[in-house]
Chains A and B, each alone.
Chain A
Amino acid sequence: MPKSKSAKKLPPTAGKARFNVGDRVRVKDLPNLFYSRTQMYVRGIVGTVAAHTYQDVIPEDEAFNRDGRLEQYYIVRFRQKDLWPEYPFDNDTLQTESPERWLEPA
């Protein structure tokens, strides 16, 4: 049954961000089951934290209507050549966004 809107509690905050801008991070390759917003092509690839964005619930919780816990989100920058080995230009990069639990220090 739908949850009452008035009873909605705010989830706890994430606290201090684990990664700083400039840190090297690898995207985890967790099993896919039912739902994920983490693109296949960044999994296992090392990138650089470009920015902190905001704290929010993670997609895996929100997609099932769980309030969960807030997590820090990051903009991570990858070299295109690391993502697509046949990519022709060395300096081009791609940025995407990831919550903290999908990242590990590299």
Chain B
Amino acid sequence: MPARYDLREQQELIGSLQPAIHLPQNWNYELSAPLFKAYMHPPHDVGGQFDVPVQYEEKEEEQWELDTYVTCEVLGWKGIWNSEERRRRADNDLGYALYLGIPYYGRWILAAARMLVDKNHISLVELVEKIAEVKARNAKK
């Protein structure tokens, strides 16, 4: 069980990730048409969007990233999803906060996991229990 202090710290971190960094938003009763349009904007990797300055880093792919890539390709090759569905799930369905906050291949593996649960190839309980099992195994090392 997490200590109460850790829980409070985690909750504050979650609060700081609310999608509207510039405008505080919390289950608005009313929404202007432009703000609704802004929320509905589907982010994608095709440019033309304003961005903040980011530090460019030359970085080799890590093993988990290569594994993720191969897993996603194999799921495509097996006909479980197509490339457009992958874009939709990894770029749009996750929402803007996750789109901006999660590493590129992190979005891919989240999208793949969600797709497998959505399509009933694995159950969420099965997946969560497996993750907990692997975490516990790694903690012992």
Q: Which residues of A contact B (CB under 8 A)?
A: 1-3, 5, 31-37, 39-42, 59, 62-65
Task: Name A32's contact: one of B40, B84, B93, B121 (CB within 8 Å).
Answer: B40
The 7 residue pairs across chains A and B that have the minimum distance between CB atoms: A63-B88, A62-B84, A41-B48, A63-B84, A32-B40, A5-B79, A35-B88
Q: Is the CB of B49 within 8 A of A31?
A: no
What are the interface flags for B104-127 relative to A under an 8 Å C-beta threshold, 1 for contact and 0 otherwise? 000000000000000111000000
Q: Is the CB of A37 within 8 A of B49?
A: no
Q: Is the CB of A34 within 8 A of B49?
A: no
What are the interface flags for B2-43 relative to A under an 8 Å C-beta threshold, 1 for contact and 0 otherwise? 000000000000000000000000000000000001001110
Residues of B within 8 Å of A36, CB to CB, are 42
Interface residues on B, range: 20 to 34
Residues of A within 8 Å of B48, CB to CB, are 39-42
Tally of A-B residue pairs with Cβ under 8 A?
48
- Kindly state the separation between the CA atoms of A20 and B49 in the bound complex, as whole angstroms: 30
- Kindly state the separation between the CA atoms of A65 and B86 in the bound complex, as whole angstroms: 10
- Kindly state the separation between the CA atoms of A2 and B115 in the bound complex, as whole angstroms: 11
Q: With A1-B120, A2-B119, A62-B85 in contact, is A34–B42 under 8 Å at CB?
A: yes
The A interface is mostly helix, strand or loop, or mixed, namely: loop
B130 at the interface (CB under 8 A from A): no
Q: Is the CB of A34 within 8 A of B88?
A: yes
Query: Which residues 67-106 of B have a CB within 8 angstroms of A?
Result: 79-82, 84-85, 87-88, 92-93
Extra A-B contacts (12), CB below 8 Å, given A2-B79, A40-B41: A2-B80, A3-B79, A32-B41, A33-B40, A35-B92, A39-B46, A42-B48, A59-B84, A62-B82, A63-B84, A63-B85, A63-B87
